[in-house]
Amino acid sequence: MTELVPGGNVPLPGGILTLRVPGPFDVCALITDDGGKVRGDGDFVFYNQPTTSGARLQGQELVIDPRGLRAGASRVTVVISSADPATPLARLPAPTLHITGPGSRALARFTPSRPQRETVLLLAEIYRRGGAWKLRALGQGYADGLAGVARDFGVDVAEDTAMPGSAPHRGGSTGRVHTAPHGRGPSGRMPSAPQAHGPTSRITPTPQPHGSTGRATPTPRAGGQTGRAIPSPRPHGPTGQVASVPGPDGFLGLVNSARARAGSPPVSLDARLTAAARAHAGVMAARGVLGSEGPDGTSVYQRVTAAGYAYLTIGEHLVSGPRTPDDFVEYCLSSEQTRRTLCEPGFDQAGLACVADRSGGLYWTALWARPFSPGALARTASEVVALTNAERAAAGLPPLSADPSLTNAAQAHSDDMVARAFYSHTSPGGAQPWDRAAAAGSTRRTIGENIACGQRSPAEVVLGWMNSPGHRANILKLAFTHIGIGLAGGGKSGTYWTQLFGA
């Protein structure tokens, strides 16, 4: 029998599997395809719906027949919550998952670290790799119960429906929290969601230094941002034994092979990205905590720019657990979200580092980037304009024309937000969008502005703006005739966008 650690996996024999979690816990399961989403309510197995194709819940035992799962299913995620909704997981013993195969043969056992604020844990997943099935230990935690899990996996949950083990939910995005307070166990932390700041629009016959700004409440996207999940499968070696740290040998070949299969061009290693990755992995290993920021608030993106690397767009994997580059790449290919970042065709350079902590756990940072160039910036801005005009055309509105003065003002604001570490329509000195437009030489009397941070492509940022009523109103305002786009990489959120409108 294998004793699993977070991130560890074991091959499974053919036949029926039984997964059991003894104690005061409710067990349920989510059946998904490679995209990580269920197809319907029948893919959610819990005490009120105990049976579906290939899966059966009997009390605290979950019986899985991989061959009997519905067509297209490639993963079964095992979820637990407290059997008594009034008793938090933190007050219960640490759960232990027992996995047996045909003939009741014990295959593996997994005990994650004791939950703290989490109300639900993803314990493990059974997944198909090629023609074989494996089991991977997880331990990812959620603070908003099964409702949060269901939303992330694509199950529709009504706000007034009481899910088993769920905490009160006030709407908005799911509230996953870090589950590695002592540097052990996986982190299901939701990355900082890309933000689309409330738009501002003002008619200024006589520019004034002060005035009210209309702002819409930003709506974070549920489910996280592509490539921004920070999983933390972390194996521990024997006490006192420090694992050897694998180098990047073979990493690039594995990555580029996966990218080629996805139709993406190869990436090359960059020394500056590697230095930034090493610095960030070292901080995580020293603290025993996964995260995009260090204890002093320095983000992984700020480490990249401090290393002298200017980028147009960036992605990252922050992981603990894999022991080799091959294991690391396999992890990155294990879900649609993490695979999308590794195979993103817009990235052409990378950096990788792995640092061991005192107990032998390995912390990995992989950075993927597209370097800055004036030409690439201009092309990106043009794509934002084209996507914006496509939305206007769909609404029967005339297109906006690119305006050099508005472009200069928008770019200056994005640069300023990175340089002075703020995120607002109002600059630290009090300047408003119309002030910045006038300073850049614009004579347009009606000015509007959308800003956003964290999005990694023109399509993503325009979609985010269109999904927010206030930003959408600026994009579809009939009076606007001209537009300027700004984009800067760096800061705490990685990318800062400005869309400045004029008439």
For 215-261, how does the pLDDT look when each residue is reduced to its tens digit (9 = 90+)? 222 322 222 222 333 333 333 333 333 345 666 667 899 999 999 99
In order of 81, 144, 255, the CA distances from 119 in angstroms are 6, 6, 36
Residue 167 scores a pLDDT above 70: no
- Please report which confidence band the pLDDT of residue 46 belongs to, taking 50, 70 and 90 as the band edges: confident
Average pLDDT on 249-275 reads 92
CB 207 within 8 A of CB 175: no
In order of 21, 74, 373, 390, 482, the CA distances from 434 in angstroms are 61, 53, 28, 25, 14
* Torsion sign over Cα 124, 364, 283, 301: negative
- Please report which confidence band the pLDDT of residue 125 belongs to, taking 50, 70 and 90 as the band edges: very high
Average pLDDT on 474-488 reads 96
- Position 65 scores a pLDDT of 93
How many whole angstroms separate alpha carbon 226 and alpha carbon 299? 18
- Position 322 scores a pLDDT of 85
- Position 140 scores a pLDDT of 79
- Position 452 scores a pLDDT of 94
Which residues, 6 or more positions from 390, have their beta carbon under 8 angstroms from its beta carbon?
none
Residue 79 scores a pLDDT above 70: yes
pLDDT, one tens digit per residue, over 335-346 is 887 899 999 999
Lowest-confidence range among 201-205, 246-250, 262-266, 447-451? 201-205
Helix (H/G/I), strand (E/B), else coil: 363: strand
Lowest-confidence range among 28-42, 89-103, 477-491? 28-42
Helix (H/G/I), strand (E/B), else coil: 394: helix
Helix (H/G/I), strand (E/B), else coil: 469: helix
- Position 204 scores a pLDDT of 35
Q: How high is the mean pLDDT of the chain? A: 79
- Position 129 scores a pLDDT of 85
- Position 245 scores a pLDDT of 66
How many whole angstroms separate alpha carbon 313 and alpha carbon 214? 29
- Position 88 scores a pLDDT of 80
Which residues, 6 or more positions from 311, have their beta carbon under 8 angstroms from its beta carbon?
304, 305, 369, 370, 371, 372, 489
Token pair for 502: 């004029």
- Position 213 scores a pLDDT of 30
In order of 128, 293, 323, 342, the CA distances from 260 in angstroms are 21, 32, 24, 11
Average pLDDT on 257-280 reads 95
Of the two residues 147 and 383, the one the predictor is more confident about is: 383
Residue 423 scores a pLDDT above 80: yes
- Position 9 scores a pLDDT of 86
- Position 376 scores a pLDDT of 95
Length of the chain: 503
- Position 393 scores a pLDDT of 97
CB 97 within 8 A of CB 123: yes
- Position 311 scores a pLDDT of 96
Look up residue 62 and give its amino acid: L
In order of 10, 222, 226, the CA distances from 486 in angstroms are 48, 26, 22
CB 295 within 8 A of CB 327: no
pTM of the predicted structure, to 2 decimals: 0.58
CB 36 within 8 A of CB 75: yes
In order of 89, 122, 195, 198, 391, the CA distances from 466 in angstroms are 39, 33, 13, 12, 8
- Position 225 scores a pLDDT of 29
Token pair for 398: 């005339």
